[in-house]
Amino acid sequence: MSTVGGRTRVGKYELGRTLGEGTFAKVKFARNVDTQETVAIKILDKEKVLRHKMIGQIKREISTMKLIKHPNVIHMYEVMASKTKIYIVMELVTGGELFDKIASRGKLKEDEARKYFQQLIDAVDYCHSRGVYHRDLKPENLLLDSRGVLKVSDFGLSALHQQVREDGLLHTTCGTPNYVAPEVISNKGYDGAKADLWSCGVVLFVLMAGYLPFEDTNLVSLYKKISKADFSCPAWFSTSAKKFIKKILEPNPQKRITISEVIENEWFKKGYQPLSFEPVEVDLDDVNDIFNESGEPANLVVERREERPSLMNAFELISTSQGLNLSTLFEKQMGLVKRETRFASRLPANEILSKIEEAAMPFGFKAKKNNYKMKLQGENPGRKGQLAIATEVFEVAPSLFMVELRKSNGDTLEYHKFYSNISNGLKDIIWKAPQDDKSGTSH
């Protein structure tokens, strides 16, 4: 497959900017060149997957994900593989995170919070009925589409490195601590459905309160609060909402309300309209092809790239300001903490990267360049491992570039400190629009 206009092509998809990345995967913006439809592509590293003996599990997860077609769950279209990577093509959602609404407004009114909670429960209930548990429901997994409809992302995929043991329970502590059920923390095995519902309860509390029910800078103290369900509802919650939330945030999973009881609850039922949608026929040929017995897919795709900065079209440029980044909302007590920084520059792409490398060197960062991308790796072990920053330069128009710095490993607050340290050295490369001094830098 060839590269078009400075882009990487995989099969019929043209890859664009990175929307987020984790240990096992990267998510990239992409366009189907035949239909011009925009999608998100999750790219898994085959070597890592094999090293962690995850092939069987990934096949199960992907097959299940393909079978889940629900209006409130991000849809998976197809799966492809190259010699080194697995590509999962998914629906692209452009309305940002649900929690961006709280960041801008503080909290939601009860009726609005209930509307989103109903959509969340619909999605979770549907997936549970198909034996799929999320196990990591948290702010950045709750997205909104352009019409404001809630979409749960990473259903099934978030649990790639978890296993159900012979006792039928899950045994991996995962997820963002503040959202995790007490039985998950206690490490004695847990029921995926009950644990997911607890996380939904925390989400509902945050939507209505504007802050977390369980918060502590000390992890041990935080776990104690969670295990005792040590929280109190703010005065503005209605009496029925308080009672309802207490039934969900019940530390004993045996006594906790079930999803079917949630749906029957008076507070929940207000204005509730169960979804009716047609089940669609789905084939798993592409999944079976990728994970066939020989271990080598019959139809490998090839990833090819051209040596020049990626072009960024108007839609992608607009989407960068619509909360498409998969950033965490509640990290420490900083309110909204972003994991990336963007600015515009009129300098040549090579020069931009050299200047960033130069500014980062005094702070002990080593740079590794690859085309118009650069990885900065910190030497010091940070709070969450060594800090690593991915840098990429995009061509927006002739001689105008957008530069993106994104934390790819380590602690978000350490990333912020790093950026403020090097920003002095970047002053001469950041372009400021004539009438708008602020347009040079982004969040």
Residue 278 lies inside a defined structural domain of this protein: no
Q: Which domain holds residue 339?
A: 311-426
Same structural domain, 85 and 108: no
In a domain, 165, yes or no: yes
CA angle 277, 280, 283 (to 5 degrees): 155
Same domain as 394, residue 354: yes
Dist. CA 105–CA 335, nearest whole Å: 12
What is the per-residue pLDDT across 380-418, written as a single tens digit (0 to 9) for each?
776 667 888 989 888 777 778 888 888 888 777 788 888
Task: Detail the residues annotated as belonging to a binding site for ATP.
Answer: 42
Final residue of a structural domain among 62, 92, 122: 92
Active site residues: 136
More confident residue, 132 or 158: 132
For residues 58-74, give the mean pLDDT.
Answer: 82
Q: How many domains does the chain have?
A: 3
Domain final residue, candidates 74, 92, 110: 92
Question: What is the pLDDT averaged over residues 132-161?
Answer: 77
Determine which of 64-78, 126-140, 307-321, 402-416 has the lowest per-residue pLDDT on average.
307-321
Angle at the Cα of 248 from the Cα atoms of 242 and 254, rounded to 5 degrees: 140
Question: Nearest 5°: CA angle at 142, between 280 and 250?
Answer: 105
Cβ atoms of 124 and 118 within 8 Å: the answer is no
Structure confidence by residue, pLDDT tens digits, 82-108: 888 889 899 988 888 888 888 777 899
Give yes or no: residues 243 and 167 share one domain: yes
Q: What is the DSSP string of 72-134?
A: TBPPEEEEEE-SSEEEEEEE---S-BTHHHHHHHSS--HHHHHHHHHHHHHHHHHHHHTT---
CA angle 383, 389, 395 (to 5 degrees): 160
Is 416:321 a contact under the CB 8 Å cutoff?
no
Q: 76 vs 139, which has greater pLDDT?
A: 76
Q: Do 121 and 230 fall within a single domain?
A: yes
Cα distances (angstroms) measured from residue 104 to each of 11, 108, 210, 329:
39, 10, 10, 12
* pLDDT over threshold 50, residue 110: yes
pLDDT at 324 over 50: no
pLDDT higher for 315 or 92? 92
The angle, 0 to 180 degrees and rounded to 10, between the axes of the packed helices 349-360 and 412-426 is: 120
- Tell whether 295 is covered by a domain: no
Evaluate if residue 276 carries a pLDDT over 50: yes
340 vs 442: CA distance, rounded Å:
9
Helix (H, G, I), strand (E, B) or coil at 272: coil
Q: Tell me, what's the pLDDT at 130?
A: 79
Residues 141 and 255 in one domain: yes
350: confidence class by pLDDT, cuts 50, 70, 90? confident
Give the SS3 label for residue 378. Answer: strand
- 77 and 104 housed in the same domain: no
**One domain, residues 116 and 251:** yes
**Alpha carbons 285 and 289: distance in angstroms, whole number:** 6
The CATH number of whichever domain residue 6 belongs to comes to: 3.30.200.20
Measured torsion, CA atoms of residues 195, 196, 198, 201, in degrees rounded to the nearest 10: 180
Residue 117 has pLDDT above 90, yes or no: yes
Same domain as 200, residue 74: no
Q: How many CB atoms lie within 10 A of CB 32?
A: 15
- The whole-number pLDDT of residue 356 equals 92
- pLDDT cut 70: percent of the chain above it: 77
Together in a domain, 126 and 65 = no
Identify the CA nearest to 410 among candidates 430, 439, 429, 386.
Answer: 386
Q: Do 343 and 377 reside in the same domain of the chain?
A: yes
Q: Residue 229's closest CA among 205, 208, 207?
A: 205
What does the alpha-carbon distance between residue 133 and residue 125 come to, in Å, rounded to a whole number?
9
Is 373 inside a domain boundary?
A: yes
Quick one: pLDDT at residue 68? Answer: 82
**Total Cβ atoms within 10 A of residue 299:** 10
Task: Identify the band that residue 279 occupies on the pLDDT scale cut at 50, 70 and 90.
Answer: low
CB atoms inside a 10 Å sphere around CB 9 = 20
E-state strands within 216-329: 303-304, 310-311
How far apart are the C-alpha atoms of 326 and 113, rounded to whole Å? 21
Short-list 246, 255, 427, CA closest to 343: 427
Of 98-112, 173-187, 292-306, 341-355, the range with the lowest mean pLDDT is 292-306
Region 37-55 average pLDDT: 82
Binding positions are: 42
Domain presence at residue 432 = no
pLDDT at site 253: 93
For residues 317 and 134, the model is more confident at 134
Residue 18 is predicted with a pLDDT of 84
CATH of the domain at 356: 3.30.310.80
Q: What is the largest CA-CA distance in the chain?
A: 65
Which residues 6+ apart lie within 8 Å of 179 measured at CB? 136, 137, 138, 199, 202, 203
Arithmetic mean of pLDDT over the chain:
78
Most confident of 15-19, 157-161, 287-291: 15-19
pLDDT bin (cut points 50, 70, 90) of residue 278 is: low
> What are the beta bridge partners of residue 26?
21, 43
Do residue 127 and residue 237 come from a single domain? Answer: yes
The letter for the amino acid at 350 is N
- E strand or H helix at 55: helix 55-67
Does any domain span residue 421?
A: yes
Tell whether 299 is covered by a domain.
no
Pair (56, 111) in one structural domain:
no
Q: In sequence order, what E strands does 115-218 have?
A: 142-144, 150-152
Tell me the average pLDDT across 243-268.
96
Is 303 inside any structural domain?
no
Residues pairing with 404 in the sheet: 342, 392
Contacts of 76 (CB under 8 A, 6+ apart): 62, 65, 66, 68, 88, 89, 90, 91
Please give the Cα distance from 10 to 32 (Å, whole number). Answer: 10
What pLDDT does 387 receive?
A: 87
